[in-house]
Structure 1
Amino acid sequence: MTDNALIVVDMLNDFIRPDGALYCGPGAEAIVPFVQQRLAAHRRAGDAVIFLRDAHAPDDKEFARFPPHCVAGTPGSRIIDELKPRDDEPVLDKTRYSGFYGTDLAKILADYAPATVEVVGVCTSICVMDTVGGLANRDYAVTVPRAGVADFDEAFHRFALQRMERLYGARIVDTAR
């Protein structure tokens, strides 16, 4: 049991690095120092830390909508070096937008039983928002720091923050606790 949990969504080479297959832009690179700070703070507090990682098959149907990216086992699907998970921190491979789809995230969170869950990562309007929706549907109190999320599209980013706040009841904060 832990008071809080941090979920780090898709901070992967293919999304964060300029040479990545589906680079989210300079905004994604810009959140790395903030995510590092939040990761360090949660670790110091003894909170649960969970990483979500896109890990697609080479022929994933998602590639009809997006260029091939984060193919399981490739350098592009690796968590960026600055955020390297510890051995005791779960890294859940996912093949869809929500961190709950086809993963053990629900069970892991139930085991930790956090009072609040903070979510950081990319992309705000896709995997972050869908994971926050899953958290809301499971009655978790959710916090999303603006400085810890980024998107390909600034308009979608702003919309996703509003939707997560208004529909899912997430606390969208300018600074984290």
Structure 2
Amino acid sequence: MLNDFVEQDAPLPVPGAKDLIPQQKKVLQAARNAGAMVVYIADHHMPDDPEFDMWPAHAVYGTRGAEVIDELSPRKNERVIPKRRYSGFFGTDLDLTLREHDIETVVIMGVLTDICVNYTSAGASMRDYEVYVIEDGVSSDSDEAHEFALKHMQKVHGTTVVKSDEFVQAFQ
């Protein structure tokens, strides 16, 4: 997650984003311990991005707000792929990166459940990846939007929604 979504004085703070950090750290550690590839997809925008007609300016290239929060910092061998739209697959080299490493399963955490998580889940599903969303590792700006998105991803994308503890247990 990026600073602009977590810090309360940021332009686009997500309610409950800070509460996701312990679960996300636990999942990241389990994945790393298992030798899984960890890739970060990070919102990054130019200062004049058309998206800012709809949302406050956020995650602008070169700003602290566009950086991954310290608690979840990527390690030196982990890629951070910038994205400018909701899906982590649209206009990025995420698919190529995953295929180059023979990755067949994608695990998604972050914000917002009904926007970036949902669109990235759809993108992964449409490219025939097995998709997992960590239920307590994602959040939205309302409980209704969060719940709707989780159900939608399961029903429409075939995404498996699991709690972090279940996921971590499967890695052991």
How far has the Cα of 1:17 moved from its partner? 1.3
Q: Match for 1:23 among 3, 6, 13? A: 13
Q: Match for 1:56 among 45, 55, 66? A: 45
Unaligned runs of 5+ in 2: none
| TM-score, L = length of structure 1 | 0.91
Residues 1:33 and 2:19 are matched in the alignment:
no
Residues 1:65 and 2:54 are matched in the alignment:
yes
The match for 1:12 is 2
- Residues in 2 aligned to 1:111 and 1:117: alpha-carbon distance in whole angstroms: 14
The match for 1:85 is 74
- Residues in 2 aligned to 1:173 and 1:33: alpha-carbon distance in whole angstroms: 15
The match for 1:94 is 83
- Residues in 2 aligned to 1:96 and 1:20: alpha-carbon distance in whole angstroms: 19
How far has the Cα of 1:36 moved from its partner? 0.5
The match for 1:167 is 156
How far has the Cα of 1:150 moved from its partner? 0.6
- Residues in 1 aligned to 2:107 and 2:53: alpha-carbon distance in whole angstroms: 31
How far has the Cα of 1:147 moved from its partner? 0.7
- Residues in 2 aligned to 1:162 and 1:170: alpha-carbon distance in whole angstroms: 9
The match for 2:128 is 139
How far has the Cα of 1:19 moved from its partner? 1.4
- Residues in 2 aligned to 1:101 and 1:145: alpha-carbon distance in whole angstroms: 21
Residue identity (%): 43
Unaligned runs of 5+ in 1: 1-10
SS at match of 1:155: helix
What is the one-letter code of the residue matched to 1:173?
V
The match for 2:33 is 44
How far has the Cα of 1:117 moved from its partner? 1.6
Q: Match for 2:103 among 114, 119, 131? A: 114
- Residues in 2 aligned to 1:94 and 1:119: alpha-carbon distance in whole angstroms: 15
Alpha-carbon RMSD: 0.9
Superimposed CA distance per residue, residues 37-56 of structure 1 (whole angstroms, 9 cap, x where no aligned partner): 11111011000100011110
How far has the Cα of 1:133 moved from its partner? 0.4
Superimposed CA distance per residue, residues 21-70 of structure 1 (whole angstroms, 9 cap, x where no aligned partner): 10001x21100010011111101100010001111011110001111111
Moved over 4 A (4+): none
